[in-house]
Structure 1
Amino acid sequence: MFKDNRYLNYNAAGFQKDLIAGITVGIVAIPLGMAFAIASGVKPEYGLYSTIVAGLLVALFGGSRFQIAGPTGAFIPILLAIVLQYGYEDLLIAGFLAGVFLIIMSLAGISSLIHFVPRSVTIGFTTGIAVIIFTGQLGNFLGLTGTKQNEFFHENMIGLTQQFHTINFYSIAIALIGLAVIIFLPKIAPRIPILLVALLIPTIVSVLVFPGKLETIGTAFGGIPNSFPPFKIPEFTFTKILNLWQPALIIASLGAIESLLSAVVADSMNEGEKHNSKRELMGQGIANLITPLFGGIPATGAIARTATNIRSGAVSPVSGVVQSVFVLAFLLLFAPYASYIPLAAMAPILMFVAWNMSARKAFTHILSIRTGDSLVLLITFLLTIFVNLTVAVQVGLLISALSFLRKMSGKLSLSEAKPSEVEIVKVAFGNKDLLDKYIIEGPLFFGTAKVFEDKYPKIFTTNATKIILDMEHLSVLDATGEAVLFTLLEDADKSGIQIIIKRLPKSKIALFKSSGLYDKIGEENFFM
């Protein structure tokens, strides 16, 4: 179906580069996979399963040479909401359905439509997600006990304040050590994988200095099994599909946006590189279709890991395959040791991810310009935090669409021609008294039809028996626009006025003919 040019001129030297890059990305992906799974309300190993399976399948079937796929922060709020409301098993079904939607998007060529999502909407929900992730880790950072993960932001904040008396200073110490590593290590040794070190050093300190003083992956989740899960098909029912199709569509949409954005970033980092959008969505769809069958959570292209892959010297998708194999090897050989990782060590890692994805500069810029986009941004941001991501995206898109229609309504004009132009027309038609000319400019569609209806009655206030409508600059015409023109023609017939169409673009002639407008006006009344 898709021609794959990602392995052209591949050789042993390229494999050596991919091997190094894949291992480097794998080192970064391990702590992130576990952290994103925990933040999504499921066991840490499910994030590793997703990293392994989705990473492998996107590398094999995706449309970018360098794309690295796995769990990402953008999914956390929607996945957590599904887990809290329906449970882990239904999360797998939602992930599977998201894979189906992504494949449909690919086959339908919807990849280009993703670019029409307004920036105010994407920045709004991205920053909202960052706030949710950051605040969601305050409990682990402070070592609070007795807190519960709730669906709504305000409930979680209330829960934190109620349990503040359980603060654990050992947890704070470990979290601060991890935070210090994240902040200062890149300045000292920029090539060292900071997230892994930010996990290892606090873990070692907690084991040697604070044994048994704070909660770990082992005490919270019972450890991580050092085995790969068997293939298992979730229990699909019509009721579950009915309940989960909407969040699954949000997962698919977010996955499509993030994976294509990641592919664009990869292209920009490699001059002359061009990803295949349709193939990329197909690869993401296959990955999310198969990953739940092995217990993994939804995945998409990860911008930070993809950039790391490129900076580490990757030359082909083989690096993505190596990353998956490396994480699998970690799971099989070292997973039991992950039980010692303190949850407080995970907190600064997720806070760091949230800080990086928050789009702070873009958010403040859009907010400062004080336009309709600012309103869309603020509403999307607040709904993401205080309601949920599904509602936020829907309302954000709806308000953006209404704002767009309002702007477009001002683009349509129906103006009377200058007297000199009318005189020229009168001479051409041999009539000096009973002819007027009007110019229609801009789009005539459902968003501007009411504006046109309000304007055209002035045509009939003159004594003219013939009216020329100059449509040279008619840019858009849809079914609603046709209906308005039909109404105009009927009103003209009742008033005994002949309508003449001048300079209608050729692209609109076929539309006039198919709708019946051409016959109603009469071929003799069209002048090109």
Structure 2
Amino acid sequence: MAASAQSPRLAELFTPKLLTVLREGYGLGALRADAIAGLTVAIVALPLSMAIAIASGVGPERGLYTAIIGGFLVSALGGSRFQIGGPAGAFIVLVASTVATHGVDGLILATMLSGLILLAIGALRLGTFIKYIPYPVTVGFTAGIAVIIFSSQIKDLAGLHLAGPEPAAILPKLHALADAAGTASPAAIALALAAILIIQGTKRFAPRLPGMLIAVVGTALVAALAGLPVETIGSRFGGIPSMLPAPALPAISVEKVMAVLPAALSFALLGSIESLLSAVVADAMTGRRHRSNCELVAQGVANIASALFGGICVTGTIARTATNVRSGARGPVSGMLHALFLLGFMVIAAPLAAYIPLAALAGVLAVVSWNMIERHAIGILLRASRGDAAVLAVTFLLTVFEDLTAGIVAGFSLGALIFLHRMAGTVAVETGVPLIEPDRADSDRPETGGRTAWQPAEGDERAVAVLRISGAFFFGAAATVGATLDNVGAAAPKAYVLDMSAVPLLDSTGAATIDGFRRKADRQGATLWIAAARPAVRHMLHRHGLTPPAVHFRGDTGTAVAAARQALTAG
């Protein structure tokens, strides 16, 4: 019976939202709304996918493959009704670094491995742990990625010609760009500024229009008709194909797998964070609730399929997902249609893509990087506390000047230490005696917030010391609680009553601390009584050998005090 009761819940965790929507009833009205939303998102995704791919060090067609294959599967199999999958700006740094180190074949293999890792994370239901990444860390690494993306676009924004390959590290990159400042192209700068102004102006005065697509098409027309001497997709990449390639496996060997595994782990970590954050944004906008582990399984499948078709990393994209919601999407069909619309654009308009100026695409990414920086959130975190500000700063600086993985690990570690320090400070040990006698009726007991009122104990002539621990008693608070217990033990009472009614959590270190106190009480010839321990706390104490007759348990403090006094009187 237990297994059969568990199975439906497990199946529900991994049921794609597409099936849920279809079960609820899906008619022509919903299909029409999803088609409009899908077309709107496709218009936004078309220039963005190519721009992200170029910035990542690969051809623009790989960005389209990613959006088409990955976007379709994320929507078809995912745990969010409105998630739009595709290439994301957050991956530009990692993808470019992987291409520079291992080549395009290494990138494809790393993308496939990251898909397998995401599948494992989702299947093991580890997606819920992603929520434990502190908010300052996500804000810090997002801002750091935005800075790196913008710095990577300066070359195309200004039409610079470097003497050698563009360095990956930001400081050498800026130095090389400064040395090449004399090669700047006025035409490229003008087109980039025009693209930025069109995007921002459209967003402010006509937000329903596809500003990015208008900017790219408009600057391409101007560059082609005026014959401007600027670099285009055609001059650098020779255009884009008009059809998807046949699926193929990358070259696989043990040595190659081990070489790209760190990159695959980084892809999986960032992909899980980015996709679940995007799903949370969609939930906040719609009042729905996504299935995190189902979403990660879909992301895994999408990354494997994207790699088979020559695409790059797939993840949930916050901006395109928000556009999908605002456009009136009803369910995952809009994301699937968005991928099909992109395929149609590629088949029909592939030859025209050759005329798109790279400066215009750099302008698109400049706007994307500016929008990625959560300026309002940064201001709040800097004012909130020194701890949050430190986590934000460490994550941001390491992301910019070291790498993304180091930024996330260091920020998470520092955030965890600060949290433990704060939690340890909330644990308190009070000494005192109950204001009521234990033989009075429960209805006559004065209560304060649902607990017995307390007063300091100057001395207990009945030789019973009463202590009350409040807060999560874990390793971070063990030293403080242990020192307090030792100080109380200096008075050498004949019995201790330890009220644990306000202890929601006890770990092994806390239990070991109480066991050490019990041994000290034994040496003094005193007995230890534990009152009002919650079932989980009592279970942990039992596992550490704190069971009768070594210690005595009672359901409330008054009863424990009465029992302790009675035992002293009798013995």
- When the two structures are superposed, what TM-score results if normalisation uses the length of structure 2? 0.86
Aligned pair 1:289/2:304, yes or no? yes
* Cα deviation, residue 292, structure 1: 0.9
C-alpha spacing 1:250/1:123, structure 2 compared with 1 (3 Å) = same
Tell me the equivalent position of 2:235.
Answer: 219
Matched, 1:72 2:91: no
Instruction: Give the C-alpha shift of residue 520 in structure 1.
Output: 6.4
Match for residue 161 of structure 1?
178
CA 187–393 in structure 1, closer or farther in 2 if over 3 Å, else same: closer
1:210 aligns with 2:210: no
Query: 2:377 maps to which residue?
Result: 362
Q: Structure 1 pair 225/467, CA: closer, same or farther in 2 (3 Å)?
A: same
> Is residue 404 from structure 1 mapped to residue 433 from structure 2 by the alignment?
no
* Secondary structure of 2:503's aligned partner: strand
Cα distance in structure 1, aligned partners of 2:52 and 2:311: 12
Residue in structure 2 matched with residue 31 of structure 1 by the alignment: 47
Partner of 1:353: 368
1:317 matched to 2:346? The reply is no
Deviation at 1:370, TM superposition (A): 4.1
| Deviation string, structure 1 residues 101-143 (Cα, Å, up to 9, x no partner) | 2222222333332222111111111111111112221111110
Q: Is 2:121 the counterpart of 1:105?
A: yes
Q: What is the RMSD of the two structures over their aligned residues, measured on CA atoms?
A: 2.3
Secondary structure in structure 1 of the residue aligned to 2:505: strand
**Counterpart for residue 512 of structure 2:** 483
> Is the CA contact 1:258–1:301 (under 8 Å) kept in the aligned structure 2?
yes
Q: Mapping of 1:33-432 within 5 angstroms?
A: 33-146=49-162, 148-211=165-228, 213-271=229-287, 273-418=288-433, 421=435, 424=437, 432=461
Q: Distance in 2 between matches of 1:225 and 1:519?
A: 77
Residues 271-310 of structure 1: CA distance to partner in whole angstroms, max 9, x if unpaired?
5x33222222221121112211111111111122122222
Listed one character per residue, the Cα deviations across residues 66-88 of structure 1 (whole Å, up to 9, x for unaligned) are 22110111111222222222222
Distance in 1, Cα, partners of 2:185 & 2:52: 23
Structure 2 spans left out of the alignment, 5+ residues: 1-10, 441-459, 557-571
What amino acid is aligned across from residue 198 of structure 1 in structure 2?
A
The amino acid of 1:128's aligned partner reads G
- Asked if 1:510 is matched to 2:539, the reply is yes
Question: By how many angstroms is 1:319 displaced?
Answer: 1.6
2:201 and 2:409 map into 1 onto residues whose CA distance is: 40
Structure 2: distance between partners of 1:76 and 1:413: 48
Is the contact made by 2:143 and 2:396 (CA closer than 8 Å) also made in structure 1?
yes
The CA distance in 2 between the partners of 1:483 and 1:186, in whole Å, is 61
CA separation in 1, counterparts of 2:399 and 2:65? 28
Give, in whole Å, the separation in 1 of the partners of 2:212 and 2:553: 73
- SS state of the match for residue 70, structure 2? helix
Other structure's SS at 2:429 match: strand
2:455 alignment partner in structure 1: none
Residues 479/246 of structure 1: CA separation in 2 closer, same or farther (3 Å cut):
farther
Q: Deviations over 1:248-280 (max 9, x none)?
A: 333223222222222233233335x33222222
Where do 5+ consecutive residues of structure 1 fail to align? Answer: none
Residue identity matched to 2:415: S
Distance 1:425 1:410 in 2: 32
Question: What is the CA deviation profile of residues 335-366 of structure 1, one whole-angstrom value per residue up to 9, with x for unaligned ones?
Answer: 23212211111111001111111101111221
Q: Deviations over 1:214-271 (max 9, x none)?
A: 2112222232222312211223333444343343333223222222222233233335
- Deviation per CA, 1:346-405: give whole Å up to 9, x if none: 111001111111101111221133420001101111111111100000000000011011
Contact 2:84–2:324 (Cα < 8 Å) also in 1: yes
1:38 to 1:12, Cα distance in 2 relative to 1, 3 A: same
TM-score (norm 1): 0.93
Aligned sequence identity (%): 39
C-alpha distance in 1 between matches for 2:545 and 2:110 = 46
Q: Deviation of residue 470 (structure 1)?
A: 1.3
CA spacing shift, 1:25–1:525, aligned 2, 3 Å: closer
Q: Which residue of 2 aligns with 1:439?
A: 468
Call closer, same or farther: CA 1:170–1:401 in 2, change over 3 Å.
same
Structure 1 residue 493 corresponds to structure 2 residue 509: no
User: Which whole-Å CA distance do the structure 1 matches of 2:484 and 2:227 have between them?
Assistant: 78
Quote the residue 1:11 is aligned against: 27
- Aligned to 1:475, the other structure's residue is in SS state coil
Q: Distance in 2 between matches of 1:508 and 1:81?
A: 49
